[in-house]
Chain A
Amino acid sequence: MLTIAQTLLIYIAAKFGFFMSFRFIDHPADIAVEVEAETLEGLFEDAAFALKEASCETQNVNSSKSLSTNLPSKIVTKEKALAKVVKIIECSEENLELLLAEFLNELNFYIQSGKWIFHSINKINVTQSGNKFNLTCQLTGNKMNRNNFMIKEEIKAVTFHQMKIEKKNNKFFTRVIFDI
């Protein structure tokens, strides 16, 4: 039985991304990432944060992964003043790989067009109905502007090359390549 303190620690760890599991691997020309998670939803969530890490300077945004504790107070104040924007993403595809690519490309559009950056994923559901796989996801983020945010990598698109979602040893695993 977990104590209240243990439960709280787990909650904080989950909230601030300590359970995220992705690693960037060598790729001849682009950015490749391997993602592993306990659940399918976790896999999608971690892949989203991998995309964010590959494309953005996270220390300058209100991120759930690394809070800007060492930033000059002026910038932090600006971030706090930014209005939160919640977005709901819904997509449907014939297989999980296309669904993941679609979801990530949706996020990539918002980042690369300089419109909006997510910092937390509140609710995410991946379901199957008939021969379709569906995703609904609620994300909270901020509008982007030059003072609070910098894109460090121009990701042209999230590709579905060599992408395969597999279950190994009770964990979901995939590899994603971002074309830069």
Chain B
Amino acid sequence: MKIHGIEIKKINDNLWEIPKSGGMLVPGRIYTSQNMLETTLQTDEAIKQVINVAHLPGIQKYSLAMPDIHWGYGFPIGGVAATDLNNGVISPGGVGYDINCGVRLAKTNLRNNEVKNKIQKLIENLFNNIPTGVGAKGAIKKLSVSEIKRILRNGAGWAVENGFGSKEDLLLTEETGCLADADPETVSERAIERGVDQAGTLGSGNHFLEVDIVEEIYDGTKAEIFGLFKDQIVIQIHTGSRGLGYQICDDYLKILLQAEKKFGFNLPDKQLACAPIQSGEGQNYLRAMRCAANFAWNNRQVIMYLAKKSFKETFSISENELGFNLIYDVCHNIAKIEEHEVDGIRKKVCVHRKGATRAFPPGSKFIPDRYRNTGQPVLIPGDMGRYSFVSAGTKKAMEETFGSSCHGAGRVQSRHKAMKEAKGRDLLKELTEQGIVIQAKGFKTIAEEMPFAYKDVSEVVDVMHYTGISTKVAKLKPIGVIKG
């Protein structure tokens, strides 16, 4: 099969390979269905980006793409690449502007019938307590620069130390909510200025807080261990490192463009600017990126605390009755040093996941004790009108995708087209008729984020399920959403 003139070889129904050619150091591999390959990828330049990523010095095995692949900057969204720790490069384009954009899933003891009559009030309280929207600020008291730097070093630990959650929350967060070797001295004053008022804020665009019902259970044993049951009320939080992360990415793209020349790399796209991992430039980017990752974990921790407060206000019940507890928190825009098997040898690599979720298997020492028999929860949000999924990481993911799975649906319509389609329609009414209460800063966000603008996430999740990369545990259906 050919797409954009590029030869694509079928490995199986859900896996396709782009053979090595030209300056590619490894082949490309795309996990997707024939249908998605023929429809969405025909109109998307992302396949070329899979090829571009295969040019990165030190790349191992394959330039990979998950089934939610779509066009990004440098890397495609849904791109995964591991580079050799000693001879490979680090590229901010493999992480993205929103460093540690991620998802957090919390559970409650409540069932749908206990919530449905108060959902309007609940959404109002959530919207009032959680700062949302462009330039949102003020979730917590104004912080000094030195306090912000403590967040950059300690991540979600800062929130817990300051009363926004418990130590148990940290144990249920990827990397316990804090990447070590984060150095605020590598972060520009500008990045701190952009982030100083944004700690604990949701932001805008596709970021959201959603109240969901567990609609379907696929794997009862794993669901029970995750703490999920049918008809249960759960909460998803999707946000990242806000302006601080965007500025760090922008700052280091400039620095790494110079490094690329210094080290004599000649890559097909400037947005793939990179530096050897072991160089000063590469190490500084990694230290700054970890600061942004920590800032994002702190954000999601603070927002979860505010969400819990909103539930308590709405239902006037005790903490025990409410049972509002974290299931897991995953990041889907990150670069991490991990150990993986390459050609039969265990080695340290830098795994870039840009729009991809870690999917570590049962038995991994890097996941919480309680998930040792299930594999880590993999959280895959869909659009605000249909459904989201909870899956579990597998051994196959370790063997094939450097322990990575998909991260979401991906747009199928531009924002402009979505606005056009929404014109003259009562979107709030349409969502209410589907049983979804929404509160947002404006009509524009709702229109741009309507379900018709997104791919059906179930098709994406099924590819990962049937290839055995991450297996389905539960399906969540939204009943309330707040957005910026």
A and B, one complex? yes
- Collect the chain A residues with CB atoms within 8 Å of residue B269's CB: 161
- Collect the chain A residues with CB atoms within 8 Å of residue B413's CB: 28
Measured CB to CB, the closest approach of chain B to A175, in angstroms, equals: 14
The answer on a CB contact under 8 Å between B270 and A157 is no
Measured CB to CB, the closest approach of chain A to B259, in angstroms, equals: 14
A140-180, CB < 8 A from B: 151-154, 156-157, 159-161, 179-180
The answer on a CB contact under 8 Å between B97 and A153 is no
- Distance between Cα atoms of A115 and B197 in the complex (Å): 12
**A27 within 8 Å of B (CB atoms):** yes
The answer on a CB contact under 8 Å between B98 and A98 is no
Q: How many residues on chain A are close to B (CB under 8 Å)? A: 25
Give the residue among A31, A115, A161 with the most B Cβ atoms within 10 A: A161
A102-B254, A157-B97, A180-B205 as given contacts; A28 in contact with B73, CB under 8 Å? no
**A109 within 8 Å of B (CB atoms):** yes
A109-B247, A179-B97 as given contacts; A159 in contact with B414, CB under 8 Å? no
The answer on a CB contact under 8 Å between B417 and A26 is yes
**A112 within 8 Å of B (CB atoms):** yes
A113-B193, A113-B194 as given contacts; A29 in contact with B270, CB under 8 Å? no
The answer on a CB contact under 8 Å between A29 and B134 is no
- Collect the chain A residues with CB atoms within 8 Å of residue B417's CB: 26
| Chain A 90-108: CB-based contact to B (< 8 A → 1; otherwise 0) | 0000000010001001000
Measured CB to CB, the closest approach of chain A to B371, in angstroms, equals: 33
For chain B, the bracket of interface size reads: 20 to 34
Closest to B192 in A: A113
- Distance between Cα atoms of A161 and B71 in the complex (Å): 11
- Distance between Cα atoms of A112 and B134 in the complex (Å): 9
**B204 within 8 Å of A (CB atoms):** yes
Measured CB to CB, the closest approach of chain B to A147, in angstroms, equals: 14
The answer on a CB contact under 8 Å between B97 and A152 is no
A28-B71, A28-B414 as given contacts; A154 in contact with B205, CB under 8 Å? yes
In order of increasing CB-CB distance, the 9 nearest A-B pairs are A156-B246, A156-B97, A157-B250, A154-B134, A151-B135, A151-B134, A113-B194, A113-B193, A154-B204
Instruction: Show 24 residue pairs from A and B whose CB-CB distance is below 8 angstroms, ordered by the A residue.
Output: A26-B414, A26-B417, A27-B414, A28-B44, A29-B414, A102-B254, A109-B194, A112-B243, A112-B246, A113-B190, A113-B193, A113-B194, A115-B193, A152-B134, A154-B205, A156-B250, A157-B97, A157-B246, A157-B247, A161-B73, A161-B74, A161-B271, A179-B97, A180-B205
Q: Which residues of B contact A (CB under 8 A)?
A: 44, 70-71, 73-74, 97-98, 134-135, 190, 193-194, 197, 203-205, 243, 246-247, 249-250, 254, 257, 269-271, 411, 413-417, 444
- Supply 16 further A-B pairs (C-beta < 8 A) apart from A109-B190, A112-B194: A28-B44, A29-B415, A98-B257, A109-B247, A112-B243, A112-B246, A113-B190, A113-B193, A113-B194, A152-B134, A154-B243, A156-B246, A156-B250, A160-B271, A161-B271, A179-B97
